[in-house]
Structure 1
Amino acid sequence: MNVLIAGGTGLVGSRLTEMLIKKGYTVHILTRKKLQNSISIKYFQWVIGKSIEEGAFENLSGIINLTGEGIADGRWTNSQKERIMNSRTQSADFLGTGLKDAKISVPVYISASGINYYANSKTKKYIEVDPAGNGFVQAVCVQWEKHAFDLQPVANRVVVLRTGLVLASQKSFLQKFTFSTKFMVGAVFGDGKQFISWIHIDDLCRYYIKSLEDTDITGAYNAGVCEDENQNSFLKTFKNVYNTNFIPFKIPKFVSKLIFGEMAILLNGGVAVSHQKMLETGFELNYPSLKTALEDLKNKT
């Protein structure tokens, strides 16, 4: 039971690795630097477009690709946009080429994607058959998924998880936000009515494992929860759970555009998704409400 993870040292990949090991898997992780192997983790060096260390594809139950330049790691200059796009599409292409060259077919290839596949909306809750929106971040998600589904000749199944805001206690948006509230302020962009679709990191990882093991799961799935939460209601729930008080600091759209440039569209927009298709696979969320998710993560900080 070997699983190959590209992007296995990041936020989601690290937690997913822990959970896979607990289930008895051996995890192959692709890294740019050679790291020390353990009983349950084997590291393989790769340089996208050039080489993958021998043995990475041996006896795989599946491949999970979590690679991707951070969408909000910097202003969207032309060069940054290119890095964001290429980091997602080229990794998928190179994994596909590696499998073809090795004449190997895997049971399943699972790729991350984003709920920003859909257009920003303050009224609609999207399901998987809804069309993609127009804009840079939507184009990234469309190409991300296209290059994943291009691996169908070397994968019996291809699954794409359109992921919302990942809530985690460490190295995440929530940790940064919790830190900012210590200074008695919480940022609200625009009017604060933008939808927030989120998912607890453990539920997300459990669904990756479900997708790995359930042969009926194929295609695209929304991996996000939205009980009509927006930025304003998120702050209210956070206040109640963390028993803290701070002043919502509203940042007008024109200010966020001056600071973040084109990337401000992520802050001033929002997407609500339905996760009904995910539930119809028999999956149950351990943290179905924002309150239960935040309460769990508060106890882990």
Structure 2
Amino acid sequence: MNILLTGGSGLIGNELVKKLIDKGHKVRILTRDHEVNHPYYHWNKNKIDEKVFEDLDGIIHLAGAPLMKSWSTKFKKEIIDSRVETANLLLKYVKKLEVKLQFFISASGSSFYGQKFSDTIFNETANAGNDFLAEVCKLWEQAAYNFNEVNARVVCIRTPLVLAKNAESFKLMKLPTQYGLGASLGKGSQWSPWIHIDDLCEIYIKAVEDIKMEGSYNASASEQINHQDFMKKLASHLGSKIILPNIPAAFVKIGMGEKSSLILEGARLDNQKILDSGFKFKFETLDQAFEDIV
């Protein structure tokens, strides 16, 4: 298939491009950065190179400003616009050029349910939360489902923490922990849903190839684990131990501001829907994932 990919220079995009090509698909990348190793086309906030839509079968939309930057009011708007307005721009061109699009697959976040501590295991029928990240995910998915207007099959992949060797979040956890300076943040009892990058990419590929997949899916590994146990397992695989006390939530909030909710809060995700689709995780446990990436 001829597939258009946004966000192709990011962590997930880089890996997904290679796997799609290995599967025999042809990938075109929409980018503002021309330093990519695959066929690319230029776009900005208002314009897309129309050549990218020729003989196009589907779109995978991964573009979005990174969440780890400081959340100023201006940047919070960019977080939303970089996901939502870019999807709206793609739809505008699909309609204008009358592209016969088979599918539109969009990234989304496990934050859809709200960044809050809860023992509830959220499945895809649960309502959206009411904090900032939940609103981002809700608007993100609404923009994706607008592609139903052109009869495209829509899939939204609700993604938690992605574990990969090159992930910045993983590097930030790994560096102090391997020297015995790792510590749990906040209470440590907050749930930490996760997925290995290989499994995530395979879910995207299944969404491309399986015409029965439609709607929103929790892309989370089966093992449910809290933050404190997560850090202990990481330390163990690094040949270290967690010996420092938990860092109080107040200190984390001072250092990270509102985005500290990414770490201090967390709920469990039900992945039965993706399992029922026939998908099988390669990395079902955190030990398996750490064995691969540490």
- Give CA-to-partner distance per residue, 1:175-212, whole Å, 9 cap, x none: 22112223321132211001011000010000000000
Q: Is the 8 A contact 1:35 1:43 kept in 2?
A: no
| CA distance in 1: counterparts of 2:79 and 2:102, whole angstroms | 28
- Give CA-to-partner distance per residue, 1:122-151, whole Å, 9 cap, x none: 311100001111111111111011111011
Q: What's the CA shift for 1:42?
A: 1.1
**Equivalent of 1:89, from 81, 84, 87?**
84
Partner residue, 2:225: 229
Whether 2:288 is the aligned partner of 1:292: answer yes
**Equivalent of 1:109, from 96, 99, 104?**
104
Partner residue, 2:215: 219
**Equivalent of 1:131, from 98, 119, 127?**
127
Q: Is the 8 A contact 1:185 1:249 kept in 2?
A: no
List alignment gaps of at least 5 residues for structure 1.
Answer: none
| CA distance in 1: counterparts of 2:168 and 2:253, whole angstroms | 23
Q: TM-score, normalised by structure 2?
A: 0.95
Q: Is the 8 A contact 1:189 1:268 kept in 2?
A: yes
**Equivalent of 1:188, from 184, 188, 210?**
184
Specify whether residues 267 and 36 from structure 1 end up closer, same or farther in structure 2 by C-alpha distance, changes over 3 A only. closer
Q: Is the 8 A contact 1:118 1:132 kept in 2?
A: yes
Identity among equivalent positions (%) equals 37
SS state at 1:125 partner: strand
Partner residue, 1:22: 22
Letter in 2 for 1:157: R
User: How many aligned residue pairs are there?
Assistant: 293
Q: What's the CA shift for 1:246?
A: 4.2
Q: Is the 8 A contact 1:186 1:248 kept in 2?
A: yes
Q: Is the 8 A contact 1:109 1:155 kept in 2?
A: no
| CA distance in 1: counterparts of 2:257 and 2:239, whole angstroms | 34
**123-132 vs 113-122, which deviates more?**
113-122
Partner residue, 2:3: 3
Q: Is the 8 A contact 1:66 1:112 kept in 2?
A: yes
- Give CA-to-partner distance per residue, 1:69-114, whole Å, 9 cap, x none: 112221x221111111111110100000011111112110000000
Partner residue, 1:43: 40
| CA distance in 2: counterparts of 1:65 and 1:292, whole angstroms | 29
**1-10 vs 218-227, which deviates more?**
218-227
| CA distance in 2: counterparts of 1:206 and 1:248, whole angstroms | 37
| CA distance in 2: counterparts of 1:180 and 1:2, whole angstroms | 43
Specify whether residues 35 and 239 from structure 1 end up closer, same or farther in structure 2 by C-alpha distance, changes over 3 A only. closer
Partner residue, 1:171: 167
| CA distance in 2: counterparts of 1:174 and 1:226, whole angstroms | 19
| CA distance in 2: counterparts of 1:105 and 1:71, whole angstroms | 33
Letter in 1 for 2:139: Q
Q: TM-score, normalised by structure 1?
A: 0.93
| CA distance in 2: counterparts of 1:28 and 1:161, whole angstroms | 20
Specify whether residues 83 and 73 from structure 1 end up closer, same or farther in structure 2 by C-alpha distance, changes over 3 A only. same
**249-258 vs 93-102, which deviates more?**
249-258
Q: What's the CA shift for 1:250?
A: 1.9
Q: What's the CA shift for 1:226?
A: 4.9
**17-26 vs 245-254, which deviates more?**
245-254
Partner residue, 1:142: 138
Q: What's the CA shift for 1:155?
A: 4.4
| CA distance in 2: counterparts of 1:257 and 1:296, whole angstroms | 32
| CA distance in 1: counterparts of 2:190 and 2:288, whole angstroms | 21
SS state at 1:278 partner: helix
Please report the RMSD computed on the Cα atoms of aligned residues, expressed in angstroms.
1.5
**Runs in 1 of length 4+ with deviation above 4 angstroms?**
none
